[in-house]
Structure 1
Amino acid sequence: MLDFLELAGFQVDERTARRIQQAAHELLDRQFIHAGDRGGMKHWEVLTSPRHERIFAAFFEMCGRKFVKNERERWVGVVPDLEAIALPNMLLGQTIVALVLALVYQEHLNDGEVESGAIVHTDTAQVFERLAYVLGRERMKPAELHDQLQEFKRRGIVAFGERDDETEAIELYIRPVVKYLVSEDAAAALRKFAGDAERGLDAAEDEVAGGDHPDTATGEEAATDGTEAA
C-alpha cells in the first residue's frame, strides 16, 4: 500500500498509511463493513474520511472493484466493476442462498417491513422455508444453510440476533447490501418463479376448497340425477 500511495502521488504519513492499509485489507476480506458492527467503527472512520476517499477509489479501481458507501445506512463496500471484470463466480450453495436472501429482502421491502437502515428482520426458519419452497423440495439441510449464512455474516451481508430455544430459529437481519450479490436479472427471474409457484399453489388449494371432490358436491349438482337435494 505504501508503494501504491507513492506511485499514485498521495502524500500521507506512515501512521496514516498503515491505517489506510488495514482498512483496505479488512474491506477486501469482508466486502462490506458496517459502522455498528464490532470493530467496524475504526475502519468506517478511515474509509469514509473525505481526505482518503480518492485513495480508496483509486486503489479499488486498480483491483477491478468499485468503492461504494451509504452514509445514511452507515456502510461501505467493494463490488466488482463489471465494465472491467466479470461477476465473480460463487459456489452453487452460496448462489442459491444469496438469491433467496435477496428474494426475502425484496418481499419485506415491498410490504414496507423494513427497520432503521433499510434492514429486514426475519429469522432462519423463514429463510429455510422460502429456500425449500423455491427449490421445490428441501435440497439444502438446515446445517448447510447455517454455514452459508455464517459466511454472509462474515462478509457483512447479514447479522444474527437471538435464538429461539423452542424452535431453534435464529433472528436474522438482512442488510440492503444483499442487492449487490446477485444481478438484477437473476433476482427478477427468481421473484417471477416464486410468484408463479405461489399462484399455482393458491389455485390448487382453491380448487380443493371449492368442492370439486365428488364427496363435496353442492346440492344443485347432486340433484342433477333427478332426485331432490336434501
Structure 2
Amino acid sequence: MSTNAEIPTLDGDGTIPAYVAAPDGEARGAIIVQQEIFGVDAGIRKKADEWAAKGYLAVAPDTFWRQQPGIELSPYVESEMQAALGHMMQHDFDLGIRDIEAVIHWIRREKHVAKVGFVGFCMGGKIAYMAATRTDVDASVGYYGVMIDQMLGEKHAIARPLMLHIPTADHFVDAAAQKAIHDGLDDHPRVTLHDYEGLDHGFAAEIGARRDEAGANLADGRTEAFFAEHVG
C-alpha cells in the first residue's frame, strides 16, 4: 500500500490518502511532497523518506484519489504512461489545490508543525506554483513544472518564496514557454528561477532512466538550502 494516512478534506466530504514519513524526534518543519502523474510511487515515497531523515515531517498526498486511489504507474510502459496522462487530463486542479490546503491545515493543526514547505514534480511543479499563489504555504519548489507560462496572471498573489527548476531541453515545456516564465518572473522579488542546460523533464526522478545524477544533486541541494532557510 503506497499510503498510510487519511487526511480530511476541507468540507468533510472525504479523506485524502497520503504517505506520511515522520522524523525521529520533533520535526524542524514539514514538507508536502507532490507526486508526478504516476501516483505516490516508490520514487515519491523515497523523496518523502529522505525529507524525514533530514528532520522534516513529510506528507505525500494521493492527488488522483477521487478518480482512482492508490495508482502506481510507470513512464516506461506506454499503456501506463497514457493512463497517467489521462488521469492528469481529468484532474480538477482547482479542487486539487483545496486538497493541498487541507493537507496544510492538517499538518499545522493535527501534527502541530507550524512551518510547511511544498515540493512538486512535473504536474506537481505546476501545483507548486498554484500553492504559492493560492495558499499560505511558507515556501514552494517546483521541478520542471508544466503550464506555468499559462498562469502568470496569478503571479501578483505570490506572497511567500517560490523556487522553480527549469531544464532547458524539457520536451513538455518548450523554449517559448520557458521564455514566458523568465519574462514573467525574473524580476519577482519572491521568485528564484534556476535553468539546467541540456537537461530534460524528469531529470531529478529518484528511479528510472530519466534521472541525471549531477543535475538532480545540484537541484536537490538548492531545494534543501531553500527549505532550511524558509521552513526550518
Which structure features the higher share of strand residues? 2
More helix by share: 1
Q: Which has the larger radius of gyration?
A: 1
Q: What TM-score results when the alignment is normalised by the length of structure 1?
A: 0.29
